[in-house]
């Protein structure tokens, strides 16, 4: 009799097991229910979704040329004082829009400042800086920059340069010209490695260097004097 009762209890437990499993699955937050076509999901189980990695934003770049055209874009950073008339410095600003001021500082090989050039420009907008200049000056603190340092990149410039605001490989770029031939650089043969600092809206954006190789003219003069 006791054996019969035990068999009945085991049979009853086996019958209740599927119902208990379903109830536990419904209450447990850790159980993943595979989506199916009936509930609007996929036909195969999906436990999690992965997203492609986001690329890092590109930074500003600088390159130097002997011509005022972005097609000269190379990695060249060594130039001869005797052969260079003007050094064209291009600063590329990927993804930049709006109104900004770029400051380009040129330092001599002895780390003393040689010149500073400021360029105001607008990317992605139509406006005349001539009309905005007074408002812009009022926003500069504590004093507006010297006007002879400011150039408007959106205007047409002389010396065969249509605009200081150009495109380089699809990105906006600003051209800054450093005169070399017939200047203090050639008169004093200021050769060596120059340092360039670029600021955007008075914040340091990048730094780079270029090298001017010395002219052989002073050596010729000395040899002639020795004779």
Locus of tokens 């699809």: 170
CATH 1.10.3720.10 is held by the domain 61-218: no
**Residue 122, token pair as written in the block:** 């607008």
Going residue by residue through the chain, which has 227 residues, state the pLDDT in tens, using 9 for 90 and above.
Answer: 566 666 556 666 665 555 545 554 445 443 334 445 555 554 444 444 445 555 566 889 999 999 998 899 989 999 999 999 999 999 999 999 999 999 999 999 999 999 999 999 999 865 544 334 443 333 333 445 576 789 999 988 877 788 999 999 999 999 999 999 999 999 999 999 999 999 999 999 999 999 999 987 544 444 444 44
* Mean pLDDT score of the chain: 76
> Burial of 164 by CB count in 10 Å (0-12 exposed, 13-18 middle, 19+ buried)?
buried
Query: How many whole angstroms separate alpha carbon 83 and alpha carbon 73?
Result: 19
Q: How far is CA 29 from CA 17, 32, 47, in A?
A: 20, 8, 14
User: Domain spans of the chain?
Assistant: 61-218
CA angle 103, 192, 187 (to 5 degrees): 85
> Residue 160: its pLDDT value, please?
74
Phi, psi of 120, rounded to the nearest 5 degrees: -100, 140
pLDDT at 114: 97
pLDDT attached to residue 45: 47
Alpha helices, DSSP H, located in 91-177: 129-139
DSSP string for residues in 49-86: ---PPPPPPPPPEEEEESSSSGGG--S--EEETTT-SE
Residue showing tokens 């200081």: 164
Q: What is the pLDDT of residue 216?
A: 75
Strand order from edge to edge, sheet including 113-123: 78-80, 203-213, 192-200, 98-107, 113-123, 150-152
Bridge partners, 92 (sequence order): 61, 173
Q: Is 32 exposed, middle or buried (0-12, 13-18, 19+ CB in 10 A)?
A: exposed
What pLDDT was estimated at residue 192? 97
pLDDT at 174: 97
């Amino acid at each position: 009799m006791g054996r019969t009762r035990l068999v009945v209890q085991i049979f009853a437990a086996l019958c209740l097991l599927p119902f208990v499993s379903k109830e536990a699955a419904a209450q447990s937050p850790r159980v993943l229910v595979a989506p199916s076509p009936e509930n609007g999901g996929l036909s195969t189980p999906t436990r999690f979704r992965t997203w492609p990695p986001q690329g890092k934003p590109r930074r500003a770049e600088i390159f130097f040329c002997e011509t005022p055209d972005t097609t000269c874009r190379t990695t060249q950073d060594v130039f001869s004082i005797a052969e260079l008339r003007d050094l064209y410095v291009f600063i590329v600003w990927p993804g930049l829009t709006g109104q900004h001021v770029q400051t380009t500082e040129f330092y001599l090989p002895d780390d003393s400042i040689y010149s500073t050039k400021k360029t105001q420009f607008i990317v992605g907008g139509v406006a005349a800086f001539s009309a905005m200049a007074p408002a812009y000056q009022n926003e500069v603190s504590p004093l507006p920059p010297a006007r002879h340092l400011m150039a408007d990149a959106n205007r047409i410039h002389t010396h065969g340069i249509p605009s200081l605001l150009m495109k380089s490989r699809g990105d906006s770029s600003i051209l800054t010209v450093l005169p070399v031939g017939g200047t203090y650089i050639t008169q004093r043969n200021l050769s060596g490695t120059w340092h360039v600092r670029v600021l955007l809206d008075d914040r340091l954006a990048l730094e780079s260097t270029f090298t001017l190789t010395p002219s052989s003219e002073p050596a010729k003069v000395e040899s002639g004097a020795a004779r």
